[in-house]
Structure 1
Amino acid sequence: MAQKQKISSLESLPQDLLGDIISKVAKYGHRDIRNCLQVSHELAIACQDGRVSKNLNLMPLAINPLATLNKYQPLMEKCLQAGNPEAHYIQGIKEYFYNDNIEIGLPHLQASAEGERRMEEGKKYLDKLEWAKSTTRSDRCWTNIKESLEGIPILQETVLL
């Protein structure tokens, strides 16, 4: 008769709750998720939750987006399907700059900019500018940003059809 393995209190939680917990761990990086995958069957199942892929911290991969061309492609596809903003950023950079595919690259970059974490960061900055009291300071900052961006030259190639 096979002996049943004892599971921890954490592993005995419902899968939905485990998925929520693991999705918060995912914000710290893929190594932590890899460790969860190796700990137990229950945690490995929870790692398959879409919230984990959406929240997975991919910033180390964003430093070198071309590294995701081969080695991390399955992970990238899973994160893109889950709407991970960093995955969209990496894919946008690859498509726009490496593959010279503006039509595919820009929507990915837009999805990244609209990502949940970016929104939270933006709200924090706006709160620092006390925009809820008055938009004067934030409007002035936005004007300064736009003026500084005007000085960045962008070369656009003419495409002959």
Structure 2
Amino acid sequence: MESPLTVLPRELTTEVLGRVASSSIADLYNAKLCCKELFGAAEEEYVHKQITLDKIPIIQWSEDRKISDFLNKCRQSRNPEALFRKGVVDYFGGKDVSDAIRCLQEASKSGHSEASYTMAVIWLFEGGESSKQKGLKMLSGMQKSRIQKRRIKNCRERLESIVVNILVDNASILKQQPTCCVMGHQRKKRRFYWGEEIDEDDNIACDACTCDEELTAIRKAIRWTTTAYAAEN
């Protein structure tokens, strides 16, 4: 039976498949099996740029040629999530750091919030007043409301979940101990209310204190993975 999508103009078919790809990789795969026309449209760069990678692990513990080729095509199509993943793994792993930063910057410009958060952290780690101010400005701009602060928490947890699963081998990360706040402010400790962790964000003395909190969290994740690796070797 012919799919209704095959009678649509190619551009519209591609647009529809892009929407399908952004919500379910399985549904896109099923659409590709319908007919040759849909298979061809699903292989276009636009579709691969939109495709969700939620079901594909960030860290591939064993080599899978098909997945590797697929992710490479997503990166070539400028898929923000694919660029973010490569940027994080390569930067913290110390592989082609310049290219890793380019990937993260491109993903950030596409609206990928985790990439923007990661770039802010990187600027803080890189050292130098110019880089620090750039990181401060980025993180401050991402925390204008409680909703945005909650999004920052999600970004931090996402980055932590990746970092603890790779061997961090970047001198900028391992050797630097950046401190943003130079005023010696004290931040109130987190408290719990009815089982929910609550940040005392309204009581943070300055934006720099907030940045120090983010750096502390990422450094803890880095220490965990480097300590675990050292214990195994």
TM-score w.r.t. the length of structure 1 is 0.66
Aligned partner of 1:80 in structure 2 is 75
Identity %: 23
Structure 1: distance between partners of 2:85 and 2:52: 12
Q: How far does residue 72 in structure 1 lie from its aligned partner after superposition?
A: 1.6
Structure 2: distance between partners of 1:32 and 1:47: 11
Number of residue-to-residue matches in the alignment: 140
Aligned partner of 1:111 in structure 2 is 106
Structure 2: distance between partners of 1:108 and 1:62: 18
Q: Does 1:30 align with 2:95?
A: no
Aligned partner of 2:153 in structure 1 is none
Seen in structure 2, the aligned counterparts of structure 1 residues 32 and 10 have a Cα distance that, compared at 3 Å, is: same
**8 Å CA contact 1:62, 1:89 repeated in 2:** no
Aligned partner of 1:21 in structure 2 is 16
**8 Å CA contact 1:61, 1:67 repeated in 2:** no
Structure 2: distance between partners of 1:67 and 1:98: 17
Structure 1: distance between partners of 2:4 and 2:212: 56
For 1:149, the aligned partner's letter is E
Long gaps (5+) in structure 2: 118-142, 149-201, 224-233
Aligned partner of 2:37 in structure 1 is 42
Seen in structure 2, the aligned counterparts of structure 1 residues 141 and 73 have a Cα distance that, compared at 3 Å, is: farther
Long gaps (5+) in structure 1: 1-5, 131-136, 156-161
* Alignment root-mean-square deviation, CA: 3.6
Structure 1: distance between partners of 2:62 and 2:46: 24
**8 Å CA contact 1:92, 1:106 repeated in 2:** yes
Structure 2: distance between partners of 1:68 and 1:142: 43
Structure 2: distance between partners of 1:43 and 1:62: 26
Q: Does 1:147 align with 2:142?
A: no
Structure 2: distance between partners of 1:114 and 1:66: 30
Higher alpha-carbon deviation: 66-75 or 9-18: 66-75
Q: How far does residue 24 in structure 1 lie from its aligned partner after superposition?
A: 0.3
Seen in structure 2, the aligned counterparts of structure 1 residues 32 and 68 have a Cα distance that, compared at 3 Å, is: farther
Higher alpha-carbon deviation: 61-70 or 92-101: 61-70
Q: How far does residue 8 in structure 1 lie from its aligned partner after superposition?
A: 3.5
**8 Å CA contact 1:61, 1:68 repeated in 2:** no
Q: How far does residue 78 in structure 1 lie from its aligned partner after superposition?
A: 1.6
